[in-house]
Amino acid sequence: MHRWSWQRVAVVGVVLGLLAGCAPRAATPAATPPAAASPAPSAAAAPGGAASSAAGGDESSVAAFYRGKTVRIIVGLSPGGGYDLTSRLLARHMAARIPGNPTIIVENRPGAGTMLAANAVYATEPKDGTVIGNFDSSLVLLQALGATGIGYDSARFNWLGATVKDVTGCLVRADAVTSLQDTIAGKEVVLGALALGNNSYDVPVVLNATLGTHFKLVPGYGGTAQFRLAVESQETDGYCVTYKSAILVNDQPWLEGDPPRARMLVVMGATPPESPYLRGVPAAESLARTDEARELLRVVDAPQVINKPYAVAPEVPAERVAALRRALMETYADPQFLAEAKRSNLDVDPSSGEEVGRVVQGVLNASPATLARLKEIIK
């Protein structure tokens, strides 16, 4: 499994910096493993959500509610990408850790850079704990920027946890462009993207504004699987997505070829990761010429600290939120789950619901000047 100590340091720095500045349904059933032992008590209350402890709650009532029920994980992206694969893996292992052992299915509902799924979970789906949302953490920044179409409040979601601490990188076909300096010098590079509010869109437009790159965005794709198809057909030159949980999951064969079919053009952050695929690849912040540019680059990628998050609606009863949080974190720690994640090349470096809540508040409380400038850029 891919792990680098640099990243833990980097993401902590991002979060502390932010805090200082303060469509059809297709359900796929997942096999339910044998029942697990009763989970241990959970921790205390989280910012921006219900109490995370079931202490004092009646676990038997939670079990009675979930027994015979079906829990849906609504993934805001199309099948085949990292979000979808992670949710399907969780569905296979998490059911036995929820009192009452409900069936868990995955439902893909792509649209508007996962905003469609977030709005639905927040406003229109059942609010009883039978619907879990899995949408892009960049939607938190979109809310901070006051974008239109938002039907959720990130601070009020009951965050259950997030799968991996990550950072965005931009991958391009090897025959499209040689280096980042080429596109800074004027070479146009066409990148596929989901939509405004997703790092595949926000990061390259901020790179254009801060470093002078010439990225041309083509929004409207449904997820990373479609990004790859567009590159293979030469419809686009590349895309910017999370490095650990998307590029290393799906694109290593392209980077390992002799000659490689693709290369990394740039990675966010102050220093590049220690990875064979990033040797000589510049880190975006190291190229920024002003403090303002560096701050813009830091804030736009900050939500990737809580990549692949899971949440339920604000109205879900506290004892069910607590049970779901506990079940998710126990699944993240389960050796069988981790072994299967490793075989699928899915990195797991989780954050608790409480940690997710703190990052969300940090993004929402970023300095007004930075948010105002980002709002001018990301449109």
247 has pLDDT over 50: yes
For residue 47, is pLDDT > 50?
no
What is the number of structural domains in the chain? Answer: 2
Q: Are residues 29 and 100 in the same domain?
A: yes
Residues 118 and 131 in one domain: yes
Per-residue model confidence (pLDDT) at position 58 = 67
Examine the domain organization and report whether 175 and 62 are in the same domain: no
Tens of pLDDT, residue by residue over 143-183, are: 999 989 999 999 999 999 999 999 999 999 999 999 999 99
Residues 46 and 83 placed together within one structural domain of the fold: yes
263 and 335 co-located in one domain? no
Structure tokens at 250: 């799906």
φ, ψ dihedrals at 280, nearest 5°:
80, 0
Q: Tell me which of 302, 336, 356 is where a domain ends.
A: 302
This prediction's pTM: 0.74
C-alpha angle 339/340/346, rounded to 5°? 100
Q: What per-residue confidence (pLDDT) applies to 37?
A: 35
Res. 77: pLDDT tops 80: yes
Query: pLDDT of 84-141, one tens digit each?
Result: 999 999 999 999 999 999 999 999 999 888 999 999 999 999 999 999 999 999 899 9
Nearest to 121 by CA among 78, 175, 66, 160: 160
**What digits encode the pLDDT tens for the residues 338-375?**
999 999 888 899 999 999 999 999 999 999 999 999 99
Contacts of 250 (CB under 8 A, 6+ apart): 81, 82, 224, 225, 228
State whether 154 and 28 are in the same domain. yes
Say if residue 105 is in the same domain as residue 58.
yes
- Of 162-166, 196-200, 235-239, 277-281, the poorest mean pLDDT is in 196-200
156 shares a domain with 12: yes
Q: Which residues form the domain of 50?
A: 5-165+306-377
The pLDDT value given to residue 25: 38
15 pLDDT tier (thresholds 50, 70, 90): very low
Q: Domain check: are 117 and 22 in the same one?
A: yes
The reply to whether 204 and 321 lie within a common domain is no
Beta strands in the chain (DSSP E): 27-29, 70-75, 103-108, 131-134, 158-164, 168-173, 189-192, 215-218, 238-242, 262-267, 307-312, 351-352
Specify the DSSP class assigned to residue 283.
Answer: B
Whether residue 15 is found in the same domain as residue 146: yes
For residues 53 and 248, the model is more confident at 248
Residues forming beta bridges with residue 192, ordered by sequence position: 218, 239
The 10s digit of each residue's pLDDT in 288-298 is 999 999 999 99
Cα–Cα distance for residue pair 15/157, rounded to 1 Å: 19
Intra-chain end-to-end CA distance of the chain, in Å: 37
251 shares its domain with 231: yes
